[in-house]
Chains A and B, each alone.
Chain A
């Protein structure tokens, strides 16, 4: 398939995915299935007043939403939807995902700092703590998939799962990656920076109108990117019978996203100190064990 067609198909599928995710989130949270909901909601945010808080840090306030959505999109660029040539086939794709997703933390912390409000500030610092909790398990889980593929290129990682998907080969790694992804996208069991009910919206409390719209869409893009990454790294990417490769990746991605929203509906928010303690007492040793497990399996 030629490069241009690939780009068009990828962009269309990704946009459709983000739209469907918006519908899905509404369905999971409010129990209403409305296909036109995203259009209505986004248009209303577009027309909403843009109130800026007094005594704010203008540079951070304007940059944070854009940086947030850019970080999520950058990571999405290297993730392959189908066989052949991905959008950008980096030799260091697995590392690039990590590097770009690290900026999500920077954007959220900037959004917490900028409005000069106490709740937002607390939310921002909490997310910094959350980064310390989730980033080790997520990085080590990615490393274990790189070990199996002997390459950091994401197409090679998908190829390495031809016979057996990584979810079976390294179930511990999958579980760690899955939970860390939820923490990265601050989905409900880990929604510490926004924490509706205790922080009154946290980092997003002072954002209205277009900037809030960019944050909302950016969060959906982030969930889409992480579901796609889960598919590529652990669920065999485009491998599957009968259907074309694009369709398989798309369906698996939507299924992962649906499970994210489904779990977050029933989960209870955890405290940030418990999150940190559990991460370093259980998740990091489990991630090291996963690397050892894959290492021994590869040598056998």
Chain B
């Protein structure tokens, strides 16, 4: 029914210049699908390390209370190593726009 409403309401009229992507009135000299310098690649690398860690975190969180202090210490050591990595990156100036 929505499709019929849509059909009855209006149709697309072909006009010159209508289908040009918005770019402040200019025609784009080249396609936008070029190589693009992603300035946040340092964060992206950090993100990969932490994202992998989350895969361990979920099952750990479920059995945490059962295992008690051992679970806290195990994950604590693991997270401390990752956290040192974060601090090292920060120290080396990785946490700003490259």
Known A206-B21, A277-B95; contact A46-B58, beta-carbon cutoff 8 A: no
Contact across chains for B6 and A143 when beta carbons are under 8 A apart: no
**What are 16 A-B residue pairs whose CB atoms fall within 8 Å in the complex?**
A47-B5, A47-B9, A48-B10, A51-B18, A53-B20, A115-B21, A116-B21, A132-B43, A132-B44, A136-B51, A136-B54, A150-B63, A205-B21, A206-B22, A284-B50, A285-B86
Which listed residue, A47, A288, A296, touches B79 by the CB 8 Å rule?
A288
Count residues on chain A whose CB falls below 8 Å from chain B CBs: 58
Residues of A near B13 (CB, < 8 A) are 49
Q: Is the interface of B mostly helix, strand, loop or mixed?
A: helix
Residues of A near B11 (CB, < 8 A) are 49
Cβ of B2 within 8 Å of any chain A Cβ, yes or no, is yes
A-B residue pair count with CB separations less than 8 angstroms = 140
Residues of A near B38 (CB, < 8 A) are 125, 128-129
Residues of A near B9 (CB, < 8 A) are 43, 46-47
Cβ of A63 within 8 Å of any chain B Cβ, yes or no, is no
- Which A residues form the contact surface with B (CB < 8 A)? 43, 46-55, 94-95, 113, 115-121, 125, 128-129, 132-133, 135-136, 139-140, 143-144, 146-147, 150-152, 200-201, 205-206, 209-210, 272-273, 276-277, 280-281, 284-285, 288, 291-292, 295-296, 298-299
In the assembled complex, the CB of B43 is this many whole angstroms from the nearest CB of chain A, namely 5
Which listed residue, A43, A46, A52, A298, touches B19 by the CB 8 Å rule?
A52
Residues of A near B79 (CB, < 8 A) are 288, 291
Count residues on chain B whose CB falls below 8 Å from chain A CBs: 51
